[in-house]
Amino acid sequence: MKIAPLARSLVYSALFISFVLVFLPAQVLRLSQAKTPSTVEWPQVVGMVLVAFGAVLAIWCVVTFGTIGQGSPAPFDPPRRLVIRGPYRFVRNPMYVGSLLALGGAALYFTSLPLLGFIIFIWIVEHALVYFYEEPTLRRTFGDDYEQYCRGVRRWTPRFNRRSANA
């Protein structure tokens, strides 16, 4: 295992996560004057679970990119090898799924409709990035291996079966 690719992956991801999953949502909450709930009820508990699950999934993706792919999630430092192991066995974009789960958990925790709107906006941006940039780039870079992977693993919704696990 090379340390440099993992370190790059961790640094780039920390910057992205800090901006998109912490700073921007905090601004949405501030501008909408959302308040921290005074009691912890089921929306807060479910929200905390979703945030934790999304964070663990995103960290798993970052480590997988750095160790297996020998690159990072950043477009200017892409993986050198096609990453189809770890969470990528089940869904092609688990890092984005993790980010949306974490944001959804925060929206639920704060019961914030403006934050839900932000999630919809982020998903549209992520989908456009995947569809118009990432997938064509991966097809050019990895060719038939990527095509085969796409046939066995869905873009946004996980498939938990043997075929996806062996893709």
Q: Whole-prediction pTM value?
A: 0.86
Can you tell me the distance from the alpha carbon of 53 to that of 121, in angstroms, rounded to the nearest whole number? 21
Q: Would you place residue 146 in the very low, low, confident or very high pLDDT band (cuts 50, 70, 90)?
A: very high
Per-residue pLDDT tens digits for 37-60: 999 999 999 999 999 999 999 889
pLDDT at 166: 47
For the domain made up of 3-165, the CATH class stated in words is mainly alpha
Q: Would you place residue 13 in the very low, low, confident or very high pLDDT band (cuts 50, 70, 90)?
A: confident
Q: Which amino acid is at 83?
A: V
CA atoms within a 13 Å half-sphere pointing along the CA-CB vector of 102:
21
Domain spans, the chain? 3-165
pLDDT at 3: 62
- DSSP letters for 1-43: --HHHHHHHHHHHHHHIIIIIIIHHHHHHHHTT----SS--HH
pLDDT exceeds cutoff 80 at 5 = no
Of 147, 142, 103, 149, the residue nearest 126 (C-alpha): 103
User: What is the average per-residue pLDDT within 106-111?
Assistant: 96
43-70 burial code (b ≥16 CB/10 A, e <16) = ebeebeebbeebbebbebbbbbbbbbbb
pLDDT exceeds cutoff 60 at 34 = yes
pLDDT exceeds cutoff 90 at 113 = yes
Q: Would you place residue 165 in the very low, low, confident or very high pLDDT band (cuts 50, 70, 90)?
A: very low
DSSP 143: H
